[in-house]
Structure 1
Amino acid sequence: MLRGDRKFGNAILLGPTGVGKTETASALSKWLFEGRMIKKDMGEYKHPSDGRRLFGDQYKMGSLTKEVTEMGSCVVLFDEIEKAHPEVFDTFLTLFDEGKMGDAATNLRVSFKNTIILMTTNLAPDREEDTPLEALGNDKRRDLFAYHFRTELLGRINRILVYNELTEGATEGILRKRVGCILARKEEEGVRIEVAENIYRHLARQVRSCRYGVRGADEVIINSVGAAIAGIPKGTDTVSLTLEGNGRIAWHAS
């Protein structure tokens, strides 16, 4: 992601909903910047002039330039960039070129050189060839977005990273981690819970059929594992969770 004299760079994260694009940004912010992250929902920038809200106008400092000035080093996440008006990104050209951006209200030149700029998109380019997106080089990936973003902008994108649909195994791994957090909390309360292996496979199938991918994982867990655990009486030391024939998760005293 390095480019020129900028300490950090930018990337587009391309993939369907619920495959970990936003989670990647969050993890990077925790790893590099102690959790400092600025997130902009680009669905709120549908008008050609909305770029001024990010970088200021004669009356008011831009929300983005203000936050970067205050926060310094951080991840800047532009979420679902396909929902913004294409002209909004005209204001990004200087930013991606120089790693700096002027604020119209204060005339400050705000440095973004200690930031990582990430942009997520669900945009699925129309293609006739069968070559998987992840097998294409970076330049070829840029070409696929030429119908939606200006060539000048695409030329300033360091990387386009492709996220595929999560496999059942990957989904199951995520669920194990999240359920494990619940089990750890219950163990701190004095209740040890054993989970049958087929429960994780069952939950993974439910999540994969969900419209929102792993974004729906927490709801699936709450409505199944959470509901079962809620029925455990106080004073119970050890229980087992099993998958019943009707798909319901039940607890049994061990």
Structure 2
Amino acid sequence: IEEHAGKAKVLHEQWAREREGLEQLTTLKRELEGAEKLVAEAQKQGDMGRVAELKYGVITEIARQIEEENERLTQLGTENRMLRQVVEEADIAAVVASWTGIPVSKMMESERERLLRMEDSLNDRVVGQDDAIAAISSAVRRSRSGLKDPGRPIGNFFFVGPTGVGKTELAKALAEFLFDTEKAMIRIDMSEYMEQSKVSTLIGSARGYVDSERGGILTEAVRMRPFSVVLFDEAEKAHPEVFNLLLQVLDEGRLTDSQGREVNFANTIIIMTSNVGSRKILDLTGNVSGDELTDQVKLILRDHFKPEFLNRLDDICVFRALNKDAIALIVDIMLRKVHRMLAEQRLTMTVTDGAKGFLAEVGFEPEYGARPLKRAIQNYIQDPLATELLEERFVEGDTIVVEVNESGDALGFSKAEAKA
């Protein structure tokens, strides 16, 4: 509380200084306008002495004071300014962002530049799934260039593959890329809609029933955040009625809730995930071409989902099993989170190549993708390092070196020697 109170005091003092400066500036500008009007009147009356007095005395002094006040405000800085006299492009973008959910940074950044580097940005977080990333990126570019049906969602995708290979992670990465936050991903767990009686909760209970005024879980989420990635997780577990409900969304980009309100899905990306065909994917990855693998999985999907549903999808993206090379790359991605957590405590960490190789080895289980690696980082880095921090072996400003211990069965931690 004391820390927040201190920050609040600093912010209030900054706000007071800026307000005082802007009020002073406004007063000076009014005085300048008044003096200029007096000059005009004196000129009409032919009183040149009065004109000279105003121009070279009063107006010159006011202009000097305005310049001084502007200089003082400039010294307060521009990046973290709380008040401004002039409404700028960024201010308008911030207001529109609050209405639409499109983040300021994305509205200000060049659309063209953002779209052209989309694959690179997504590949920074998701490894080994180039085909899926390419399909998603192409759909977004079609939408932004006006080459899609304006009534349909930006894209309708089915992500199919074993557990832990990046299906949900790609949906999160896409939400962050397009809308600047993972919170722009709306996740619907299809295992909760196995019974027909649960399906109606997606659009809300009919009038007169309990909780009818609350709206549907799906429709209300999209109505409140129309620019979003909507993830239907474990689609194979949903009751068939769910897909009948979603046909309208996939085809027309809209859905009517129980209150009769039409919810627009035209600015959403619809993603469904499934583990159907995982055994086939694990067996065939690396042994057949990508096209052949996709064809085999599509045959399996036809046994589980109706053709009218599958035909409304823009693409079925088959996520391949991760190999050791992919896991080695994911080690660096997962370690970034640990680096960020340590940075909050003003600590840095250096992980040797040997330690990274150790984590990749103990965290490699093809059937479970990257999830064993997450556990390995927790067991071999986060848990023992937590103990070391509580024992105060490391303090603010230290660099922690992580390397394989002498026996080769665990990781050790040491403090980097300070540079002379």
Distance 1:108 1:139 in 2: 40
Check conservation: 1:49, 1:87, Cα contact below 8 A: no
TM-score when scaled to structure 1?
0.86
Write the distance in 1 (CA, Å) between the matches of 2:229 and 2:319.
19
> Aligned to 2:222, which of 51, 63, 68?
68
Return the offset for 1:136. Answer: 4.1
Q: Which has the larger radius of gyration?
A: 2
Aligned to 2:59: none
Larger displacement relative to structure 2 (221-230 or 178-187): 178-187
1:208 Cα offset (Å): 1.9
The structure carrying a bigger strand percent of its residues is 1
Q: Which residue is equivalent to 1:148?
A: 304
Partner of 1:118: 271
User: 5 Å matches for 1:88-127?
Assistant: 88-103=242-257, 105-124=258-277
| Equivalent residue for 2:334, pick from 163, 167, 178 | 178
Matching residue of 2:401: 240
CA deviation after TM superposition for structure 1 residue 154, in Å: 1.0
Who is 2:239 aligned against? Answer: 85
Percent of paired sites with the same residue: 33
Distance in 2 (alpha carbons) for counterparts of 1:125 and 1:234: 44
Judge which range, 79-88 or 177-186, deviates more. 177-186
1:4 aligns with one of 146, 149, 166: 149
More helix per residue: 2
Name the CA distance, whole Å, in 2 between partners of 1:225 and 1:119. 34
Q: Does the 8 Å CA contact 1:138/1:159 hold for their aligned counterparts?
A: no
Change (3 A) 1:16 1:191: same
Q: Give the stretch that moved more between structures: 3-12 or 75-84.
A: 3-12
1:111 to partner: Cα distance: 1.0
Range with bigger deviation, 200-209 or 7-16 = 200-209
8 Å contact from structure 1 (residues 141, 160) kept in 2: no
CA distance in 2, matches of 1:113, 1:160: 20
Q: Distance in 2 between matches of 1:201 and 1:91?
A: 47
Letter in 1 for 2:378: I
* Structure 1 gap segments, 5+ residues each: none
Alignment of 1:188-203 (within 5 A): 189=345, 191-203=347-359
Tell me the residue number matched to 1:249: 411
| Distance in 1, Cα, partners of 2:167 & 2:378 | 23
- Structure of greater relative contact order (alpha carbons < 8 Å, 6+ residues apart): 1
Structure 1 pair 14–132 and aligned structure 2 pair: CA distance change class (3 A) = farther
One-letter identity of the residue aligned with 2:277: A
Q: Does the CA-based 8 Å contact 1:133-1:162 persist in structure 2? A: no
Give how far 1:147 is off: 1.2
| Separation of aligned partners in 2, 1:190 and 1:44 | 42
**Residue correspondence of structure 1 range 5-84 to structure 2 within 5 A:** 5=150, 6=152, 8-35=154-181, 36-58=184-206, 59=209, 60=212, 61-84=215-238
Equivalences, count: 252
Q: In the alignment, residue 352 of structure 2 is paired with which amino acid?
A: A
- Provide the rounded CA distance (Å) in 2 between the counterparts of 1:248 and 1:18: 24
Q: C-alpha separation between the residues in 2 aligned to 1:191 and 1:138?
A: 45
* Preserved CA contact (<8 Å) 1:74 1:115: yes
- Per the alignment, in what secondary structure is the counterpart of residue 208 of structure 1? coil
Alignment CA distance shift 1:252-1:44 (3 Å): same
Gaps of 5+ in 2: 1-138, 143-147
| Counterpart residue identity of residue 242, structure 1 | E
Tell me the distance in 2 between the aligned counterparts of 1:238 and 1:30.
30
Q: Contact 1:79–1:121 at 8 Å: present in 2 too?
A: yes
Letter in 2 for 1:21: K
For residues 102 and 200 of structure 1, do their structure 2 counterparts lie closer, same or farther at Cα, with a shift above 3 Å needed? same
Displacement, 1:121? 0.6
